[in-house]
Structure 1
Amino acid sequence: MVNPFWNAMSDAVFGEAVEAYSAHGAGHLPSHYKVSDFAEATVGLAGVALARLRAGQGGQVTVDRRLASLWFDMTLRPDGWEAPSLWDAVAGNYRCKEGWIRLHTNAPHHRDAALSVLGVPVDREAVAGAVQAWDVAALENAIVAANGCAAQMRSAEAWAEHPQGRAVAQEPLVHWQDHGSCSPAPIKSLNGIRVLDLTRVLAGPVATRFLAGFGAEVLRIDPPGWNEPGVEMEVTLGKRCAGLDLTRANDLGRVKQLLSEADVFVHGYRGDALERLGLGDDVRRAVNPRLIDVRLNAYGWSGPWKNRRGFDSLVQMSCGIAALGMAEEGASNPVPLPVQALDHGTGYLMAACVLEALAARAQGRIKSARVSLARTAHLVMQHRCALERTGAIASAAGDFGEVLEQTGWGPAHRIKAPLQVMGAGPRWSVGAGPLRRDPAAFGAR
């Protein structure tokens, strides 16, 4: 089968013809978009990038389509303990006077911002009642102005005419930047490669989880008070997790020291955030001229929303994905993708960019890359399909591995990995665990 996403993504990452991968397995995630094709292709893209790094010209890469689709969702099954809810009590879709809005309130300060605008307590019924009195565009603007996170549901046609939609449509899938030459340093594996991870839910952590699974040393840094209880068991697998406050001079200095020691910096701060913290592009380049910098933004790198906070579920509302699902199904409320596919797919795209940049550095060039959820959405929206529930993919007991993973919350089983690269799959040296449990330091080389 020719994967409809493969050419666009491989051209964006490699810029040349590359070896295809082989895929097996059947079924699909039920959607009006080709989500399982997208899952298969993005996992395969990262696998091909790893094979190229290891073998120079590539090697055998095999993707299990069914397992790739399942890895676009939660992959851990607790054994004797219960996982937290993915969403807080307020997050979700609400009906305004006209139209729908989604509130993203998993972070306490984002929830506080939304509630301050609405003037209600943490009560879902009270929120729903208050929202009904608002014009949807006015409420979106008010919550964003209060440093909250919200998105009104727009149609694909409305998004195409929106200034941000027009800007994103003109952007490449990957913004590559060449920083010039360096001394070559041949590399055949990720062992010994240090990755500094300053990303949050969910795309960036998917990228660094992939890299950790194939040997990279990943150190994740989170600020005080930040928690992701519903997904920590997914995003911390294989990583050291430390805490630093970048608004404090000593901690900022520590991050600069870690940057000087790192091979790769993966981050998901909004477009202007690192500059305001004193870690702008010029600073990072001066601290470590050989640093590979792969950066994620929600709404793209140009246009009026380039510095807007955003998450997968919000981008799906903004760009027309949720509206199309609602219209096609004749539903009474928004119908997003069955999984947070923009996050997961962008995560594997980021991992492929890291690997391709490492291969370039081995040949004597320093490259960095920028991607966005909105530009990934633009790609996904070009590949629609008829909704077919027959043969839909759902996890089963046989999908989980036999090896018991010792997590920071208790034992668990994880779904089998979907990828084999040159005969080997990922292996994570440490199970998932809570944030800020480790010192802010890389291990010895």
Structure 2
Amino acid sequence: WPAATLEQAVIDAGGCAAQMRSEAQWLQHPQGSAVQQEALIAQQATDAAPPPAWLLSPARPLLGVRVLDLTRIIAGPVATRFLASLGAQVLRIDPPDWHEPTLEEEITCGKRCARLDIKSRAGREQLRQLLQHSDVLVHGYRADALEKLGLDADTRRQLAPGLVDVSLNAWGWSGPWRNRRGFDSLVQMGCGIAEQGMRWSGNNQPTPLPVQALDHATGYLMAAAVLEGLRQRLTNGVGWQARLSLARTARLLQQFGDAPQNAQNGIYAQHDDALSAIEINQWGIAERLRAAAYLPGTPMICATPGVKLGSSAASW
């Protein structure tokens, strides 16, 4: 199969695929060109809203803030885990049959996790009720997914005036691929990172980064966007909307250039990478890594250990 033909055939069949491209090829591609014109965090004020009743305790600054989490896998869950560690009340919603083996214990601490079939009428109505009582919505659906469920941006703002609405897309918010399915590894293949890694390491096969760096980096950027939205709500009495994408984060990374040729290619644990406290959760006794980002002078501690998906009711 020619690579481009196979890529398109998989997409046409409803799957996910990305041909390996070089950075130069990506920048010449219509989607790569579109992403380059986008802001790293595209954000704007929305509607006026009454002042919130958050307590703003220095020890738990997000105590009382309700975060509705409609994200999967790594990027979005990293963002909402960060918010949970600052005291936010995070409710994650998953489909009835969704599972994430090996990830649940890592990204669910501090959260409650419930299941809803939002494709059903009853599930959509319950989701709308949850949204009505939310301060923050973090979602990682494709650009048009919530619109098809009758929850476009205008509707979301009407349901929850002053909502801080932060969304993630894989391939960007403009261009021909804005509604294409994707995830970190595919974006690394499509935008030139895997090809750069192949040349850098001297391998004869695609060589992506040793971690899902686009996911983790975008997750922390999403958390930062939420914090800025909460600041805008408090100081200016407005709602806030922000959009991010894995492809735009990848572009930021590429703009810093290749690593030195003699750089170590590996991941090595450091003695202070883990939190001092041991966590006891449903999987056993665990040691939890520190967050890759932090707020100076502010404790970041999840109030509850990791939990299994679907272990709570879909209610505040």
TM-score (norm 1): 0.67
2 CA distance for matches of 1:418 and 1:300?
A: 24
The 2-side partners of 1:173 and 1:419 are apart by 18
2:15 matched residue in structure 1: 148
Q: 1:216 to 1:149 in 2, by over 3 A?
A: same
* Pairing 1:285-324 to 2, within 5 Å after superposition: 285-324=157-196
| Counterpart position of 2:24 | 157
- Deviation, 1:185, is 3.8
Measured at CA, do residues 370 and 391 of structure 1 come closer, stay the same or move farther in structure 2, by a change above 3 Å? closer
Deviations 1:369-407 (A, max 9, x none): 011000111111001231334596511455333422122
Q: After superposition, give the CA deviation of every residue in 1:185-211 in whole Å (9 maximum; x if it has no partner).
A: 475320000000000121110000000
Give the equivalent residue in structure 1 for 2:127.
255
- Provide the rounded CA distance (Å) in 2 between the counterparts of 1:420 and 1:169: 28
Distance in 2, Cα, partners of 1:411 & 1:179: 44
Matched with 1:41 is: none
Deviation at 1:182, TM superposition (A): 2.4
Instruction: Tell me, yes or no, if the aligned pair for 1:417 and 1:425 is still in contact at 8 Å.
Output: no
Q: Does 1:277 align with 2:149?
A: yes
1:377 aligns with 2:250: yes
Match of 1:240 in 2: 112
**Which position in structure 2 is the counterpart of 1:209?**
81
Report Cα offsets for 1:145-176 as digits up to 9, x if no partner. Answer: 11111111000011010000000001111111
2:288 paired residue among 395, 398, 414? 414
Deviation of the 1:415 alpha carbon: 2.0
Tell me the distance in 2 between the aligned counterparts of 1:323 and 1:418.
Answer: 26
| Aligned mates of 1:419, 1:312 — CA distance in 2 | 20
Q: CA RMSD in A?
A: 1.7
In 2, Cα distance between equivalents of 1:274 and 1:243: 17
Query: Paired residue for 2:310?
Result: 436
Which ranges in structure 2 are unaligned for 5 or more consecutive residues?
Answer: none
Alignment-derived partner of residue 338 in structure 1: 210
Q: Alpha carbons of 1:440 and 1:186: their partners in 2 closer, same or farther (altered >3 Å)?
A: closer
Instruction: Find the aligned partners of 1:394 and 1:154 in 2 and give their Cα distance.
Output: 29
The one-letter code matched in structure 1 to 2:247 is A
SS of 2:171 mapped into structure 1: coil
Question: Following TM superposition, by how much is the alpha carbon of 1:184 offset from its aligned partner in structure 2, in angstroms?
Answer: 3.4
Higher-Rg member (1/2) = 1
- Which residue of structure 2 aligns with residue 267 of structure 1? 139
Q: Does the CA contact (< 8 Å) of 2:42 and 2:244 recur in 1?
A: yes
Deviates more, 1:348-357 or 1:184-193: 184-193
Q: Distance in 2 between matches of 1:398 and 1:216?
A: 26
Counterpart of 2:4 (choices 137, 144, 156) is: 137
Maintained 8 Å contact 2:210/2:266: no
Aligned pair count?
309
Offset of 1:180 from its aligned partner? 3.1
1:324, 1:422 → 2: CA distance? 35
Alpha-carbon distance in 1 for matches of 2:248, 2:308: 31
Give the equivalent residue in structure 2 for 1:180.
47
CA distance in 1, matches of 2:39, 2:135: 25
CA-CA distance at 1:360 after TM superposition: 0.4
2:223 pairs with 1:351: yes
Per-residue deviation, residues 324-379 of structure 1 (Å, max 9, x unmatched): 11012220111111211111011000000100000100121221101100011111
Amino acid corresponding to residue 352 of structure 1 in structure 2: A
Partner Cα separation in structure 1 for residue 75 and residue 303 of structure 2: 21
Pairwise CA distance, 1:422 = 4.2
Letter in 2 for 1:139: L
3-state SS, counterpart of residue 225 of structure 1:
coil
Code of the residue aligned with 1:433 in structure 2: it is V
| CA–CA separation in structure 1 for the residues paired with 2:145 and 2:292 | 35
Q: Say whether residues 1:196 and 2:68 are aligned partners.
A: yes
Going from structure 1 to structure 2, the CA distance change for 1:220 and 1:376 (only over 3 Å counts) comes to same
C-alpha distance in 1, partners of 2:127/2:200?
48
